Structures are given as structure tokens and as C-alpha cells.
Amino acid sequence: MTYSPRFQSGLFPVTRALLLTCLILLLPTNVLQAADAAVKPFDVPSGAASRTLKLFAQQSGREIVFSAESIGGTTTNAVRGELTAGDALDRMTAGTGLTVGVDEKSGLFSVRKETTVPNAPRATAAAPALARPSQDAGEEPKAVVLSPFEVSTDRDRGYQAQTTLAGSRLNSNLKDVASPTSAFTETFLRDLGLTNLEDLAPYMLSTELNFNEDIGNARLAGNTGNTESSRSTRVRGLSGGTVSVNFFKSPNVRFDTFNTDRIDQSRGPNAVLFGVGNPGGIVNVSTKRAVFNDQRGSLAAIARSYGGRRGELDLNLPLVRDRLAVRLATAKEETHTWRDFEYDKSDRYYATLKWRPTAKTELNVDVEQSDIDRKTESPYVAGDQYTIWASRGRAISATANAALGVASLSPNSTLVFDAAAGTLADWRGRTVSALRTSIDGQAVALSDFSILPRTTSLHGPGTFVHQNYHRLSAFLTRSLARNLNLELAASRTDEHYNNSLEQEDALRADASPFLPTGAPNPNAGRAYIETTTSMRFRDSRTDAARAMLVYRADTGRWGKHTLAGAFETNFYKEAFIIVSEYVTSPNAPDPSLPESGQNAISRRTYLDLNGPVSRLRYAEMAKQPIRGLREQVTGRVYDTGWVPLNANTRLNSNEGTTATWMLQSRFLKDRLHTIVGGSSDRRDDYFSTQGRRPVPGFTQGIRYAIRSHTPDFTSASGLSFSGVFHATPWLSLTYSQAQNSALPPVALVDAPKGGGLRTPTPKGRSQDVGFKLDLLQQRLFLTATYFETKSQKEYFATSATTSAINVIWDGLEAAGVLRANNIALGDVRGLAVGETSDGRTKGYELELTANLTDGWRTYANFSDETTERTNIGQEVQAYLANFRPFFERFPTVPVTGGAGTVTNQLTRVDASAFTSYVVADGRRPQGQIQRKGNLRTNYEFTGEKLKGFSVGGGVRYFGRPVIGYYATGTAATGVNRLVFEGPEQLFVDVSAGYRRRVGSVLGRKVQWTLQLNVNNLLDNDDLVPIRRASNGEMVFYRFNAPRSWMLTNRFMF
């Protein structure tokens, strides 16, 4: 009874085969002929421009046009090191009075004397592209405008990006953009050895990884890696930025840098980002594009700690001069960690084509396919259902005894499969060690590593996250007139996701002296782990198409203006299901409902705590299917199957539109730059309902989803403004403000009378003021910003209180109370996995990028911010208030999990609600870090003795996170609300490299680079508390990853 609906497509298997074929055919003859324009070795001395520019052309392999008369008498700077052609030329001409241009169509460089403009932005970034010259090389080329829809990363200098699309969605000089934006170049990503957004997040301003600290269940906290292919983030204290690829929203997809040119982060609300923004901002990935007239390539082999390895290939192949080029890239990776059975494997393929049928029309088509197989353990070792029993004498008792730490299992059918014996038995009413819970009722993680070592991986090799996705995008740009440009773009992403996950990870002890059959229990006193098992399947399709029209006008004394309008339509659909293992034969223990808990199968694995660590894990489920087993107590023969578990069986879809406008203006001889924009979004959500298919022997059938044809309508709008005033050539003043109401996530919050309600529309406002410094002849760029960001009805994932309330519902259902009162459990049990709140963050940010000398590049940032969360979980509070009178009618009914009675559990619920909603109100949220900072630098030696060598290093600092709340007083008398903070964390990273030419093939130079990165050099592998209870007890935790290394061999052609 396993259900895994999947979209079928024949396109991408063909694409993958075609790409592999192209790589095989092209590699033998073309790889060593390519010349890498992205990074090349340069050794150009200082001297007369007429001579050094010719030397530059020889070493770069690029054509360059200049007028000897125009540059006569100019002396250029010396340049040495491994650089891009654009970077080398910029350094040669910096401060010389020469302006560099590049023709995007042909890749041709042009150099001429600059026209002095007081207080102008950086010439290297703002220089216009030049059209290809006539046959007369002395003729001054005509200036043309760069495409407004894309940036050229060839102009990036080390860690300094010159232009960005973030903040306005048009090609803009970073110095002219006031909205909070950071750009991460390919050089930065390579120097640090970063290959995905999760690795990059700690280096982003005001950004931290989300370990789900709000979730009250230790099994789920920080456990995103077990259920999704990547971890989410928080930005400025708010739920982290939307991720997009080329400004197409890309949900559910984990990205890799193998096909990435640049990554841009925009923090806070922004109204001109085409429907992909939210109060936390966005992160946009710009993929690589094919380049005309320039063969280039790179091949890398990477080794990592714990046997990890990675291979990369990137080839750019011009096919028809100025008309047609293709670029192919692939990456294959397998990594492991310090914990047993953790791994991350991926196979990725990418192809992009650039075609220019006419001088004014260009088409770019991208195809990507990725296959990801990942296993990530919980951040802690195990849940603790062992130490209370062990500390109280290790009692073996047939009855529950709280003083001895002995609890009883459910009095209803409790089917357990013993993996070692291969038997199935009903363990109802038998005894087990008691669960350790905090004063707030939260399950506590095991922290005694003499029982289970830190490297333990209880889930073993039997669990995984598997994802594959295929993306196809096309971008058509057309110059309709001299100042009028059009972009038509479309994207489709198909994704399939499959996750196998054991539901429990608590270490327990078997306290029962007898087996269910009455025979003596040979495992009495032994430790074990036991769980029901679930499988998750998701198939999704994301379609989007947009049209954007840009008009530029020079009105003389009234300024220069760019007016843009865009319209986007999008469509998303998914088939999602969670299935668990149940008895499916007609003689099931509870024939009323297939997914009844009495029909569930738990799998038990006994552990030898003195044995090898690698054996402290679940037996692999796939190797032990349960078919036709005889239950030992009743003698019934059972068949099992995978049955849809709950309301998460769904066939949802949505379709929407976004209309956007933007006006970008320059006044006062380019000293004042402004951007104003707005957006309007609409989305129609189609939420499926459920029916049941008949199953022989059961009163009710199997759940299935019914697609809806009646939409739920939501809308959102936004408005933003930013301004930059260049007070001097080196000082700029900035101001920006934005507000938006993002489209809500497709999730549920609690309804007052049970069930769930759709998440309300979140709203955000932000205001930033600051300055920018451009110093040392454009070698150092510093941005300083003070900001305030507010949000309303922000959704955050937590199930702390709802889960605790559901324990009461489950106990009342097991005792027959709900049936006696004509209440269906599914109608009242909480479905929410999240809550809403309002928030406010204020603080400041500093960011510095510098190329201090020809071989010295540096990046640094620091943020200090304080977030307050208010109006927390009002939906849950209303839900609890509505059902409290009903709960209080049955105070002595036992609840599930050995938690005592309804009264006991209600006391825990109240304690949790008081801590989560009363004490936390107006305080920093769980996990928020006030101060964070990064410093990274890399130096390349140019002297004869050390020429070719480089060294680098950096520091990552994370301040004290909020890990819990406590209070004195009461809600009636006044509450003094305080927070627990975790420890500061400091990490030191170093790197060393060597580069040299290793000859040439067919007239092309080959550059070899060897680079060693060591992360966490000082081996800070501390245990880090994630959450503390209101009495200070540690509830759960994570570990810092210990020291690791990465060795990269890279050949550039």
C-alpha cells in the first residue's frame, strides 16, 4: 500500500545522456585547447601603456583596442598573480586616468582616457561596454550599453563584486545601491572551498543557520538534515531569505557552486524582486553563462577528511564566432563526517547555450540535472529514556513503579518486531524504562557519553534523504530601440524527493521480566531502541514565466532615468504523502481504521552498549520485510504495508501573478542615485481534501487526496525606496526603506476548535541608513548600515505546545473518552506544525572587501542586532483555552508515553505555554545570536623565492545565542522575564596554496593550482546547548564539527 505519485518526463534522461555524450566526445580534442579567461597567470611590469597593454593581450589571450595617441604618456601599474582578465586590466589601469570597457558581444576590451566627473562612482565598475571597432584600429569605438538584465562577473576583482542585480533587479553598480546587499564572488567561494549555500550561510551578514530551536521535541530539534536536503536560515532575526536562481523562485532545491558565477544576498523586505521577496530577504544564485569567442575550462579533483572526494569539470566552447557558444559543467561528490553513517552524495550536470541570431537579440538556455543522496543524523546522540531507570537500581519489574524509573507500555495493542529474533509480538502492558522529561514536559536528550559515544549514529545506514531535480530555463533579450530593452524568460523545475526516517531515537531499557507469551525475558535489563518507520514522498513542479521591459532616458539637467516594468506568472503543484508501516490484513487488531495506532508496527533493536560503536544502530528495515508473520500471543498471521498516515496526504497546487515596476534615477551629475519600486502579488491556492478507498476487513478505508478546484485567494504588495548620495569620490551616504506583505507559506496553524487554519499573510517593514567608503584607489570598499526591520504574522516552525496537547488527545482516544462523547480524534487533534508571531530587529552591519595589493584580498563583516518577538502563538493559546474545560473533566485518565494522567500533562502544557508565550514575549527568540563576525584574507607571494605560493586564513565568531527562558513572578502579579544564553563560539580556518604553469598544449598554457584548506584549526568540537528548560536543565544540544581539511587540485586551461 505504498503511494508515490510522480510526474513523468522523458526530457531530462535524454538531456543527461546528451550531456554525457558531449563531454566524452569533446574532452579528448578540446579540453587542452581551452583558455581559461576566468583565472590566468599574469606577470606584467609597470611601464608605458602602449607596451604593457600589448603584453597584457599576449598573456590574457584577449583582444584589446586602444588609441596610441589617446594613451600616450600614461604609465600603467605592475600586475602579478592569478587573476581574471578583467581584474588584471583593472589593476593595471587603476589610478592612471584610463577607462576600461568591454564589449559583451565579442569579449573585446577597449582602453581610453577617462573623462573626469567629480564624485563619480568607480570607473572600473561603471565603464560602458564598447562596440566592436571598425577595421581602423585607431578609430575611437562607439559606446553601447551593457545588457540591463545580467552582470558580467569578469569585472569582479578578488572578493570585490562591481555590479549586482540585487536591490533593483537591473545591472547596477554596488556603490549606487542603498538597499542592504552582499555579493559573493567565485574567487571567494573557491578560496574558502564552499560548495553550497548551507556552507556559505555562516559568512553572510546577520545570518545564522536554523537548528529549529523553537521545536520542543528533542527528536525534531535541529533535525532538518534528516527530512530535507538542506537547512534553512534566519536573516536579521527573521525566517531566512527566499532562495532563487536567476530570480526565479526555486523551492525544495539544494544548490551547488559547480555552475555558479555569483551569489547575491538581499536582506530585509524588498518590493522590486519580482514576487520572490519576504521580510527576511532573498538569496539569488546567478548561474554560469556561455561566452563567445573564448575557449576556457577547468578540471578539479578534491579530497576531503573522512574519505570525502569531489570532481568538477567546466568547459566553455565557442562554436560560431559572435553567434553561438555552449558551456558544460559537471560535479560528482561524496563526503562523510566524523559520525558513523553520515554521508552526502551528489551527481550534477549542467549545460547552457548562448545564441545571438542578430546583433540585437540573444537567447540563453540552461539545463540542469542533479541527483542527491544524503544522510544526516540528529545533532544530539539520542533521546534519554534510560538514565532515570539506570540511576535507580536498574529494576526489573512487571508493573510500573515511578520510584524505580519503570513505566508501562500502552494497554492497547502494541505490536513489536524484534529485529534480532525475527518475531512479532504484542507487548501491551509490558514495562519499560521511564522517559526523562524537563520541568516543562519536553523530552530530554541523552548527554552521558559513557553510555553512548558522541560518534553514535542510531539511525544507521537504513535512513536517507534522496532528491533529484531537473531545471530548464530560457532567457531571450531583445534591444527594441536604442534605449528600450525587452527580456522574456521562463523556467521549469521538476523535483522528486524521498525520505526514509525512523520516528524515535530514545535509548530505552527493557524492564519486563517476561515476554508477551509469559516466558522469561532473555533481554530483561538490556538497552534497546524502538521506532515506527515512515517514508515521505514528494513530487513537485514549479513553472514560471516573466516579461520585463526597460526604458532608459537622459533628460539632461533633470537626470538620467531607467524605467522598468515586469509581469510574471507562476504555477506550482505537488503530490506529497507520508506513509507508515501498519498491519493491512483483515484480522488487524483494530479493524475500524487502517492507520490506528493499534495496527502500527514498531521495530525493536537490542543494543550491546559495550560493543563496537558502529553496531549501536537500528537494524536495516529494508532487509527485514514483515510478510506473513505469526503474532506470538494471539497466533494471528499478519501482513503489513505502507499506509498514508495523516492529513499530509495531499495534492496541492497554486498559481499566481506578480506585477512590478521600478524607476532608477541619477541626478546632479551622477552624484545622487535613487531607486523606487513597487510590486503586487496574487496567488490562488488549491488545497486538496481527502477521501478513503475501501479496504477489505476495515470499517474505513485508506486515505487518498482529492484535488480541489476551488481556490483560496491571497494577495500581497510592496513598496521600496533607496537613495545614495556620493558626497565625495570616496564617501557615499545611503538610505533605504521597504515594506512588503509576502505570500504566506503553505502551512497550517491551529484553529480554535481543532484542525488547522491557513497561515496568515506575513508583512515586513525595513529602514536602513548608512554610508559607504571607497578608499585606496578603489582597493578598499566599506559599507556601514544601521537598520530596523519589523514583521507581522511571521510563521515559524514549532510544535512544542501543540505536540504536548496532542498527548492528552491520544490518551483520551485510547481510553475511549472521545468515542463516548461522539468526538472524532481527527477533528480535534492539533494539525499545526508552526505558529505566528510579530517581530522587530534593530542593529548595525559592517562589511568590507579589499584588494590591498596585487596579491592580497580580504573580506570582513560584523553585525550586532537585537530581535524581539511578540504576540507569539496566539492561535495555539486560543486552541488551548477552547478545549481546557473538556480536558479538566477527565483528570485521572492516563495519557500516552508514561506521562501520567491528563492532569499531569495539562500541568506540563501550562508550563510550556507560560515559558513559550508569556516569558518569551518581548524577548529575543530561541537561537538568535546578537553578534556575529567574519574575517578572511588571502595573500599571494610575488617574490622570486616564494613566487606561486599563497597563504590565507580567517576567523568566524558567533556570539551568545538564546537557548531558553525563565521568569520570576506570575502572569497575575507581574513577570520578570529573563533568557538563558549559550556560549560564544570561535573558529579559526587556514589555507595554503601553490600555483605554477605546467606547460602548454597546442599553444595554450595550462595552470595548475594546489590548495589546502583546514577548517576549525583549533578543533573546537564543543557540545553546544540548543535549548534549556525554565529551570536551566539542558534539553537538547548539538556538536561543533571537529577539524577538517580539503585538498584541491585544479587545472585551468
Taking only the tens place, the pLDDT of each residue in 957-982 is 999 999 998 887 766 677 677 889 99
**Looking at residue 228, what is its pLDDT?**
52
Non-local (6+) Cβ contacts of 203 within 8 A are: 184, 192, 194, 859, 861, 934, 936, 956
Strands 238-239 and 233-235: antiparallel
From the number of C-beta atoms within 10 Å of its C-beta (0-12, 13-18, 19+), residue 975 rates as middle
Average pLDDT over residues 277-304: 87
Residue 53: predicted pLDDT: 87
Q: Determine the Cα–Cα distance for residues 85 and 156; give it in Å rounded to an integer.
A: 10
- Give burial (CB, 10 Å; 0-12/13-18/19+) of 931: middle
pLDDT band, very low/low/confident/very high, at 800 (cuts 50, 70, 90): low
Residue 136 has pLDDT above 90, yes or no: no
| Confidence at 267, pLDDT banded by 50, 70, 90 | confident
Residue position matching grid coordinates 526555486: 250
DSSP 631: B
Residue 520 has pLDDT above 60, yes or no: yes
Torsion of CA 806, 807, 811, 817, to 10 degrees: -30
Beta strands in 45-186 (DSSP E): 47-48, 64-66, 75-76, 79-83, 98-102, 109-113, 129-130, 143-144, 163-164, 172-173, 181-184
Q: In terms of Cα–Cα distance, which of 494, 501, 573, 584 is closest to 536?
A: 501
Residue 854 pLDDT exceeds 70: yes
Higher pLDDT residue, 858 or 72? 858
Tell me: the pLDDT tens digits for 591-622? 988 988 899 999 999 999 999 999 999 998 87
Could you tell me which residue, 242 or 515, shows the higher pLDDT? Answer: 515
**Cell numbers standing for residue 1042:** 571537529
**Is the confidence at residue 229, as pLDDT, over 60?**
no
What string of DSSP letters covers 431-456?
EEEPPPB-TTS-B-B---TTTS-TT-
Determine the pLDDT at residue 15: 42
Query: Taking 60 as the threshold, does the pLDDT of residue 27 lie above it?
Result: no
- Report pLDDT for 5: 42
Residue 190 φ/ψ, nearest 5 degrees: -70, -40
Confidence of residue 1002 (pLDDT cuts 50, 70, 90): low
- Which pLDDT score is estimated for 674? 94
**pLDDT single digits (tens) 349-393:** 999 999 999 989 999 999 999 999 999 888 899 999 999 999 999
Q: Is 429 exposed, middle or buried (0-12, 13-18, 19+ CB in 10 A)?
A: middle
Residue 237 burial (CB < 10 Å; 0-12/13-18/19+)? buried
**pLDDT, mean of residues 243-262:** 86
pLDDT at residue 864, as a whole number: 96
Q: What is the mean pLDDT of residues 762-787?
A: 91
Tell me what pLDDT residue 70 has: 63
What is the 3 state secondary structure string of 312-353? EEEEEEEEECCCEEEEEEEEEEEEECCCCCCEEEEEEEEEEE
Cell of 1019: 578543533
Q: According to the model, what pLDDT value does residue 30 have?
A: 37
What percentage of the chain reaches a pLDDT higher than 70?
84
277, amino acid identity: G
Would you call 599 helix, strand, or coil by DSSP?
helix
Q: Enter the C-alpha cell of residue 452.
A: 553512548
Indicate if the pLDDT at residue 112 is higher than 50.
yes
Closest CA to 534 of 644, 628, 419: 644
Task: Compare 647 and 540 and report the one with higher pLDDT.
Answer: 540
Cell of 951: 597563504
Taking the domains of the chain in order of start, what are their residue ranges? 34-144
Q: How far is CA 650 from CA 412, 495, 646, 655, 747, in A?
A: 30, 16, 10, 16, 12
* Model pLDDT for residues 140-190, shown as the tens digit of each residue: 333 333 466 666 666 667 788 777 766 666 777 778 888 888 889 889 999
Q: Which CATH number fits domain 34-144: 3.40.920.10, 3.30.930.10, 3.55.50.30, 3.90.420.10?
A: 3.55.50.30
Q: What is the pLDDT of residues 6-20, one digit of tens each?
A: 444 444 443 443 344
Instruction: State the pLDDT at residue 922.
Output: 86
| C-alpha closest to that of 848 among 205, 192, 236, 270 | 205
Counting residues of the chain whose pLDDT is more than 90, the rounded percentage is: 49
Rounded distance, CA 729 to CA 119, Å?
4
Cα separation, 837 vs 831, in Å, equals: 18
**Considering only 119-133, 694-708, 720-734, which range has the smallest mean pLDDT?**
119-133
Q: Which is more confident, 791 or 1?
A: 791
Mean pLDDT of 686-702: 91
